[in-house]
């Protein structure tokens, strides 16, 4: 990727955007056109993914622009239905770009398999027996996933948690390599369960991975110069920096605000996760559980002013994969990984988290200055114009008229469209 800074990209006709992307990827424009036209998944392929298929359901596939992550320009594939998400994230990424872009912090990448043991007669003795046999237990678990072990992954350690007097849960921590790893972790956990029951004297309960993947964290942070932050706004630099910090503190003190703060993060993050063929529901479950890990729901991202710079940081569990699952059959998900030049799960997590932090910044900046509705409704106006029946060459004019009038509603769009069509053709 030469640069993700493509000025005026949103103004280009659809065909020109596709031609640009095809050139960047080094493929024929016709090949990209055919791939995107069907969404990468026809009905026949869909029947291989889920049950009772009657068709497919399309969502917009867009590009997040202006992103620099760990010193490299990156295009971000984003699949989302909500107006303003892609534009807001791209605009925020442009501001962050002026501060050097998004920077990631490496973490270990282990998934957790839980083996529940019920009715354990002597929990203390059971713990001693399991700890004494940890190496043998790990060998048993590795034997259940030989392919993963051959690729350099596999079970790494065993942890014991006591939930009640006769109730233990054993955590099997597994390096899943480039896979998200749900099936691998579940298989290893099931294989280990009988021996754990024998050692503990209890009986096996549930054997399944945890979506609270707090041994597979992703952290990204950024710095935004005040000048970039206020560009295009009629507001004092210091005041905006202070107000965004205050908005972050509001979320840190109030779970009702934190929930909406985190939803803004997931707007961008989920868009990348979905585009790349991963399970956004597991990501959401893990993120929100992690946000409540201290016993009180809190924001995943925080912002602080340091002189004339705003610093933001986001940490959350991200269990993502770049092989297997949907990626075997969904050709646009494969394309998404290619256009983002994804090196592996950790890299994909860094990109998704960067989109999340950018979305959060965009929301806090809007809330702290002109309010969230102005920009959001201006983009929503396009959807309303389409619903009113505007053709492709009419949408922008109709959207601009109803946004300017402050009436972003179907009737107003229909009136504007009638006015437009009543004019003589130039």
Write out the two tokens for 5: 């800074």
Determine if residue 67 is left, alpha or beta; phi over 0 gives left, psi from -120 to 50 gives alpha, anything else beta: beta
Greatest C-alpha distance within the chain: 89
| Alpha-carbon span 53 to 252, nearest angstrom | 43
Q: Are strands 167-175 and 72-79 parallel, antiparallel or unpaired?
A: unpaired
pLDDT tens, residue by residue, 9-27: 988 998 899 999 999 999 9
Residues of the chain short of pLDDT 70, as ranges, are 1, 371-379, 423-426
Secondary structure element (H or E) that encloses residue 206, with its range = strand 203-209
Set 279, 347, 380, 414: catalytic member: 279
Write out the two tokens for 185: 């972790």
Cβ neighbours for 82, distance < 8 A, ≥ 6 positions apart: 267
Q: What is the CATH number of domain 111-209?
A: 3.30.70.420
* Secondary structure letter of residue 82 according to DSSP: S
Q: Where in the chain are all domains bearing CATH 1.10.8?
A: 375-421
Task: Given CATH 1.10.8, say whether it is the number of domain 375-421.
Answer: yes
Predicted TM-score (pTM) of this structure: 0.89
| Alpha-carbon span 350 to 352, nearest angstrom | 6
- Catalytic status, residue 82: yes
Write out the two tokens for 187: 């298989």
Q: What is the CATH number of domain 9-105+217-370?
A: 3.90.770.10
Q: Where in the chain are all domains bearing CATH 3.30.70.420?
A: 111-209
Cβ pair 122, 413 in contact under 8 A: no
| Alpha-carbon span 258 to 21, nearest angstrom | 37
What pLDDT shows up at residue 425?
A: 47
| Alpha-carbon span 406 to 408, nearest angstrom | 6
Please provide the distance, in angstroms rounded to a whole number, between the alpha carbons at the two ends of the chain: 41
Q: Where in the chain are all domains bearing CATH 3.90.770.10?
A: 9-105+217-370
Q: How far is CA 250 from CA 86, 117, 293, in A?
A: 25, 41, 19
What pLDDT shows up at residue 370?
A: 72
Residue with tokens 């749900």: 182
What pLDDT shows up at residue 37?
A: 80
Name the β-bridge partners of 322: none
Set 116, 376, 380, 414: catalytic member: 376
- Catalytic status, residue 376: yes
Write out the two tokens for 245: 């910090």
Name the β-bridge partners of 221: 103, 313
Set 133, 252, 263, 394: catalytic member: 263
Q: Reduced to 3 states, what is the DSSP secondary structure of residue 412?
A: helix
Set 33, 38, 73, 82: catalytic member: 82
Considering just the CA atoms, what is the radius of gyration of the chain in Å? 25
């Amino acid at each position: 990727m030469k640069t993700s800074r493509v000025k005026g990209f949103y103004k280009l006709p659809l065909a020109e955007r596709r031609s640009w992307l095809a050139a960047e990827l080094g493929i024929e424009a016709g090949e990209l056109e055919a791939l995107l036209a069907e969404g990468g998944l026809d009905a026949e392929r869909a029947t291989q993914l889920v049950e009772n298929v009657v068709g497919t359901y399309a969502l917009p596939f867009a590009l997040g622009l202006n992103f620099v992550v760990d010193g490299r320009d990156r295009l971000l594939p984003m699949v989302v239905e909500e107006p303003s998400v892609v534009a807001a994230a791209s605009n925020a990424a442009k501001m962050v770009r002026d501060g050097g872009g998004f920077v990631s912090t490496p973490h270990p990448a282990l998934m957790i398999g839980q083996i529940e043991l019920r009715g354990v007669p002597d929990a203390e003795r059971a713990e001693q027996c399991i700890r004494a046999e940890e190496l043998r237990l790990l060998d048993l678990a590795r034997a259940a996933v030989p392919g993963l072990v051959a690729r350099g992954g596999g079970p790494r350690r065993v942890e014991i948690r006591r939930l009640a007097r006769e109730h233990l849960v054993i955590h099997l921590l597994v390096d899943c390599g480039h896979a998200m790893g749900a099936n691998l972790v579940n298989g290893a956990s099931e294989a280990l369960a009988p021996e754990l029951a024998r050692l503990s004297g209890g009986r096996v309960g549930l054997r399944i991975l945890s979506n609270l993947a707090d041994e597979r964290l992703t952290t990204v942070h950024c710095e935004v110069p005040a000048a970039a932050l206020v560009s295009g706004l009629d507001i004092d630099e210091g005041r905006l920096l202070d107000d965004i910090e205050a908005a972050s503190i509001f979320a840190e003190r109030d779970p009702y605000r934190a929930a909406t703060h985190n939803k803004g993060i997931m707007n961008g993050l989920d868009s990348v996760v979905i585009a790349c063929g991963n399970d956004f529901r597991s990501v959401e479950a893990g993120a929100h559980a992690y946000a409540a890990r201290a016993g009180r729901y809190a924001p995943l991202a925080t912002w602080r002013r340091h002189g004339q710079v705003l610093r933001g940081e986001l940490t959350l569990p991200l269990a993502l994969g770049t092989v297997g699952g949907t990626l075997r059959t969904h050709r646009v998900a494969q394309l998404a990984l290619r256009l983002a030049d994804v090196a592996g799960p950790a890299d994909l997590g860094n990109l998704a988290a960067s989109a999340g932090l950018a979305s959060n910044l965009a929301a806090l900046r809007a809330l702290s200055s002109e309010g969230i509705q102005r920009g959001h409704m201006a983009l929503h106006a396009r959807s309303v114009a389409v619903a009113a029946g505007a053709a492709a060459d009419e949408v922008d004019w109709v959207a601009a008229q109803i946004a300017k009038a402050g009436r972003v509603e179907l009737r107003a769009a229909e009136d504007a469209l009638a006015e437009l069509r009543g004019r003589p053709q130039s």
